[in-house]
């Protein structure tokens, strides 16, 4: 089993899971912050930054980046990774997508790993194009134009041959995927909780698919770069899913604004205190709606919120 990969410039590097576990150990927490840009939720200084630019595309880009640089600077020494939600960038058109790429580059430059939450999924050849877009860093040999994330969320609805191209790309480039298993929303029950003829739920069947991928592709530390999305909002499911996918790293959204508690999020960890990252977006980054606040004050408030989350989550995890 290979544990190192060639990154685009030819240096060997560890796989996603190993790099993430190192970053978690380094920062002392599995908490991550999510960036779901909504310009109307950002403090005034970011809009002023944008409004001096000439085109809509530049205004959007500059506003988002002013805020994201502020957030990244605030949390870079505290957490292992950020999660960026593609939809909120896409809604701003090209300026938003440019900010998506630039947020990745800025965060990586500041030593953060980046999880692209885009929930992509398609038939094989198209899935390969998505893998190229987010996880290969080799799209047409132009490294500065690519959205090279460390990890991408993907959907299982199209089945294994839609997942395989992502896995192959991850194994080649040391990147990772988190496969949607049980999402945070109430409506996740509509399909994910359907009971199958063998008594299992649909999401449990998907968990078995994920477990076979993660067991077959372990990193040096026993955890795999092929992980799962499991929300912090359904404790019973989390407890069961943790046992079903021992080698998978769980990406755990739903803490904070969506109502998931630290106690629930903690159920997504193994007894070694590892195996998950817990993400909060709105509860950390959305409280500055058009607020006329200095950037330094904004940074310190984001640090306080992040510290509070870290204390809450770290205390809840059994070790």
- Is the alpha carbon torsion for 221, 214, 205, 260 positive or negative? positive
Only one of the segments 7-15, 74-82, 89-97, 293-301 lies at the binding site for its own copies (rule: CB under 8 A); that segment is 89-97
Nearest residue (CB) to its own copies, 160 versus 289: 160
Which pair of tokens denotes residue 225? 């770069």
CB-CB contact of 59 with 50 (8 Å): yes
Interface of this chain with its own copies, residues 241 to 270, rule: CB under 8 A: none
Closest C-alpha to 115, from 207, 273, 264, 229: 229
DSSP 90-128: HTTHHHHHHHHHHHHHHHHHTT-EEEEEEEE--SHHHHH
Nearest residue (CB) to its own copies, 43 versus 156: 156
Closest C-alpha to 157, from 216, 202, 98, 97: 202
End-to-end CA distance of the chain: 28
* Beta-carbon contacts of residue 133 (< 8 Å; ≥ 6 apart): 139, 146, 147
Per-residue binding letters, 206-235, with its own copies (x by CB under 8 A): x--x--------------------------
Interaction of residue 275 with its own copies, rule CB under 8 A: no
Interaction of residue 10 with its own copies, rule CB under 8 A: no
Nearest residue (CB) to its own copies, 178 versus 221: 178
Interaction of residue 54 with its own copies, rule CB under 8 A: no
Only one of the segments 4-12, 135-143, 214-222, 264-272 lies at the binding site for its own copies (rule: CB under 8 A); that segment is 135-143
Q: What is the DSSP letter of 134?
A: I
Nearest residue (CB) to its own copies, 61 versus 240: 61
Q: What is the DSSP letter of 140?
A: G
Instruction: Assess whether 110 carries a catalytic annotation.
Output: no
Residues noted as catalytic = 119
Which positions lie near its own copies, rule CB under 8 A?
36, 39, 56-57, 60, 85, 87-88, 90-95, 97-98, 101, 119-124, 126-127, 129-130, 132-134, 139-140, 142, 145-147, 155-163, 180, 183-192, 194-197, 199, 202, 205-206, 209
């Amino acid at each position: 089993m290979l544990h190192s990969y060639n990154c685009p410039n030819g240096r060997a590097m560890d796989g996603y899971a190993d790099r993430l576990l190192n970053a978690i150990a380094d920062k002392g927490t599995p908490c991550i912050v999510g960036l779901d840009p909504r310009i109307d939720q950002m403090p005034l200084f970011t809009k002023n930054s944008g409004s001096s630019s000439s085109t809509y595309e530049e205004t959007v880009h500059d506003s988002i980046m002013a805020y994201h640089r502020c957030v990244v600077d605030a949390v870079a020494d505290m957490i292992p990774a950020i999660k960026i939600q593609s939809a909120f960038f896409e809604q701003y058109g090209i300026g938003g997508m440019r900010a998506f790429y630039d947020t990745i580059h800025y965060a990586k430059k500041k030593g953060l790993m980046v999880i692209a939450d885009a929930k992509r999924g398609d038939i094989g050849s198209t899935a390969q194009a998505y893998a190229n877009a987010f996880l290969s860093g080799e799209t047409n040999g132009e490294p500065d134009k690519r959205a090279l994330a460390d990890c991408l969320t993907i959907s299982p609805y199209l089945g294994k041959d839609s997942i395989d191209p992502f896995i192959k790309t991850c194994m080649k480039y040391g990147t990772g995927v988190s496969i949607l298993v049980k999402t945070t929303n109430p409506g996740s029950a509509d399909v994910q909780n359907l009971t199958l003829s063998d008594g299992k739920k649909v999401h449990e069947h998907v968990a078995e698919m994920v477990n076979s991928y993660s067991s077959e592709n372990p990193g040096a530390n026993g955890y795999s770069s092929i992980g799962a999305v499991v929300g912090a909002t359904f404790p019973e499911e989390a407890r069961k899913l943790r046992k079903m996918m021992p080698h998978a790293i769980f990406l755990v959204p739903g803490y904070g604004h969506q109502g998931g508690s630290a106690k629930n999020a903690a159920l997504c960890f193994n007894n070694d205190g590892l195996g998950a990252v817990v993400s909060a977006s709105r509860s950390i980054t959305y409280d500055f709606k058009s607020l006329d606040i200095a950037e330094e004050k904004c940074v310190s408030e984001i640090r306080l919120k992040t510290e509070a989350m870290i204390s809450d989550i770290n205390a809840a995890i059994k070790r």
